[in-house]
Every structure is written in C-alpha cells, then in structure tokens.
Amino acid sequence: MENRQKEKVWFITGSSRGFGKIWTEAALKRGDKVAATARDIRSIATLKETYGDQVLILELDVTNVTQVQNAITRANEYFGRLDIVFNNAGYSLVGTIEESGTDEVKALYETNIIGPVHVIQAALPILRAQGYGHILGTSSAVGIYSNPLIGYYCSSKFAFEAIHDSLAKEVAAFGIKVTLIEPGAYNTEFGSTESLKIASKKLSDYDDLKNQLMKNLQKLERGNPLATTNAIFAVVDAENPPLRLLLGKNDLPHIQQIYSERIQEWETWKPISVAAQG
C-alpha cells in the first residue's frame, strides 16, 4: 500500500537547533504535520503557539529507549500514521584519536549510533504495518571520508551510513524507503556547546596539526542551511528517492578524488591481495 496523501506526517529528532530546527519549521510552513522532539521541550514550545494541532511537541533523549518507544507510539496515535521518520539528533567530539577518552567516545556513539537505532527499531513495526514510510538520517560528508581531530565523529557517521545501507536492503520489500542526508560545511549551530564537545585530554604534540586545521577551517566555504529545505522536500516527495544525498557543492569533487586514490592503492597492491587468496 502506497501513501498517496499530499500532506505528510514527520517524526523528527533534534528539532531544537541547526538543520533539525530548520527542517521542522519548513515542513510545518508547507502544511505538513510534525512530531517535533528535543531533550528540552522548552526549546521548541513556541512551535505549538504558531502551529497548534499541526505539531506535537515531545520530550526525547534518543539514548533512552523507553522514551523513544513512547514518543513514536504517541506520535502515531496523535496523527494516525507516520510518513517520515527523520533521525537528526547528534553531536561532534573534537580531539585526536589519542586524546579522546573512551567514556567520551561511548557517549558519542550512544547518541549518534545507538539513539538512531532506537528510533528505527521503534518505528519499523508501524511502517511495516502501514506498508509504506520513509526513514531519513542526517549523516555527513565525513560519513564518506575521515578528517583528523574528528575521527570518532567521522567513525560514528561511517557506522550510521552502514546501518542505513543495510536497512534499505532489508525493508524495501515492505514499501519502506531509506535516505541518508550528507551535508557538507554549513553555517549552522553545530559549533555550539550542545552540538560539539571537546576531548578532555590535550596533548601539545598535536598543536601544530590543530593550528593548521584551524587555519584551513577559517578559509572553508560554508553553505546557507536555509537553502537545504527544497532538497529535503525533493527527497521526501520523490517516488524513487536516493539512498544518499550530498548537500552542498564542494564535497563531490573531493569524494571523487578520494575514491580514485583508494582504487589506485588497491590496484597497486592487487598482486599481494590476489596471492593472499591461497
């Protein structure tokens, strides 16, 4: 069964800031219905004043599996269906591989990987029963390649990508679509204390690397996050949406170069690889 209704029902995590806030408000402005979630509902309370019954405000920490299950159930009961389930909550950990403590890495993975899995697993029984639905996840261009100083954040997005890649193959037969949204560099609140944590350990050995990277960051061309809404709508309105969608113009050339270099390296070492077959 395919959902033919023009008006869509969204469930969005991380609705209080950054892309999540922009996409939540854009969906409401175009007349869709949204279950908007945040760890602190005071940060999104004004949505109710503006949009009334069109929006459902839910307190949600994605690391709390019971809270996730209750939020998904409430949203489905309130709106009668779920068309789009959008995992957007997450944050970055800044620090080298050596500097970042294992507790900091575990906390990052709990939010960036396990949290979205909670949402997906809670939503799938509803979407399968409907016979349709679209699961979206905010990944990153650094879910495709890694950068220094944010290696653990990159690794969380690598895992996020793999999970959604497998998921797409598993749920296609149920009429459920899956799309990874992969933003490049944008002027969002991703650098705020809520969205970015600094590793507690600091080693002076890496100062030169950090200083160079900071200089490079200052030169980085950043996109306008408000310009991304039409891309999101194009994906959710498409009959055959992509599994992956890059946002921005700068990452595809970089990714093409990286993949070319990887293939070249594999080709160079091909005799060794083939000999290892036995």
Active site residues: 139, 153, 157
Q: How far apart are the first and last CA of the chain?
A: 50
Question: For residue 132, what are its two tokens?
Answer: 């349709």
Question: For residue 136, what are its two tokens?
Answer: 């979206």
Cα 235 from Cα 246, distance rounded (Å):
11
CA angle 35, 58, 45 (to 5 degrees): 95
Per the CB < 8 A criterion, the answer to whether 177 and 164 are in contact is no
105 Cβ partners below 8 Å, 6+ apart?
Answer: 93, 152
DSSP letter at 257 equals H
Closest listed residue to residue 76, CA positions, set 91, 90, 58, 95: 58
Per the CB < 8 A criterion, the answer to whether 177 and 135 are in contact is yes
DSSP letter at 186 equals B
CA angle 124, 34, 138 (to 5 degrees): 60
Cα 248 from Cα 245, distance rounded (Å):
10
Collapsing DSSP states into helix, strand and coil, what is residue 164? helix
Cα 151 from Cα 265, distance rounded (Å):
21
